[in-house]
Amino acid sequence: MGAPGAGKGTQATGLAARYGVPAISTGDIFRANIKGQTPLGLKVKAIIDAGEYVPDEITEEIVADRLQQDDCQPGFLLDGFPRTLHQVHFLDEYLASHGGGLDAVVSLHVDPEALVARLLDRALKEGRADDNEDTIRRRMEVYAGQTAPLLMHYEAQGLLVEIDGTGTVEEVQRRMFEALDARAAAVGRPA
């Protein structure tokens, strides 16, 4: 987890590569559908452009479909999901009914004003339709409001690993790997 611009996507890719599991980004799945003008893409485009969340039922169905694919057998890393308590409960139930569960929930922390600056820079480089200042601020508000109870849920389950997301990609990655290795050692699982 991490606010928009916290480096979530980049760190998710590095983390998934380290563990040899697929990184599943709901945002990327939505963007690919918007680009391909699929029925799903047409349905979610306006919502995403406005910086709001796609309805839970739609998002949950996409994740369930994706987790059933063969490459998720050894494990998976979710990037940008769950984002609501409804999605949290859906995921808990889905994994329990498939004999699994989460090993850790990583939360990246970065100062919000630094994030707005980072996102405006990304908007210039990548031209994402949801990367203008108003939408960015709306996405930050949505994120902060929706995420606090999720963090509490995972904290209570002992799954939360909080990481300082300031610094270079490599610095943040090193912090994250160290924290996850320490956690794996503490719970007696191979890193």
- The residues assigned a catalytic role are 8, 83, 122, 128, 139
Binding test (CB under 6 A) with ligand AMP, winner from 2, 7, 80, 165:
80
Query: Side-chain half-sphere of 153: how many Cα atoms within 13 Å?
Result: 17
Q: Whole-angstrom Cα distance, residue 29 to residue 60?
A: 12
User: Residues 11, 33, 59, 107: which binds ligand AMP (CB under 6 A)?
Assistant: 59
Q: By C-beta, is 146 or 166 nearer to ligand AMP?
A: 146
Among 76, 81, 90, 154, binds ligand AMP (CB under 6 A): 81
Among the listed ranges 47-55, 66-74, 102-110, 154-162, the one in contact with ligand AMP (CB under 6 A) is: 47-55
Q: Is 26 among the residues that bind ligand AMP (CB under 6 A)?
A: yes
Tell whether residue 107 is a contact of ligand AMP (CB under 6 A): no
Contact residue for ligand AMP among 53, 72, 175, 183 (CB under 6 A) = 53
| Side-chain half-sphere CA neighbours of 108 within 13 A | 29
Applying CB under 6 A, the span of 53-61, 105-113, 174-182, 183-191 interacting with ligand AMP comes to 53-61
Query: Residue 4 interacts with ligand AMP (CB under 6 A)?
Result: yes
**Binding region for ligand AMP (CB under 6 A):** 4, 26-27, 30, 47-48, 51-54, 59, 80-81, 83, 87, 139
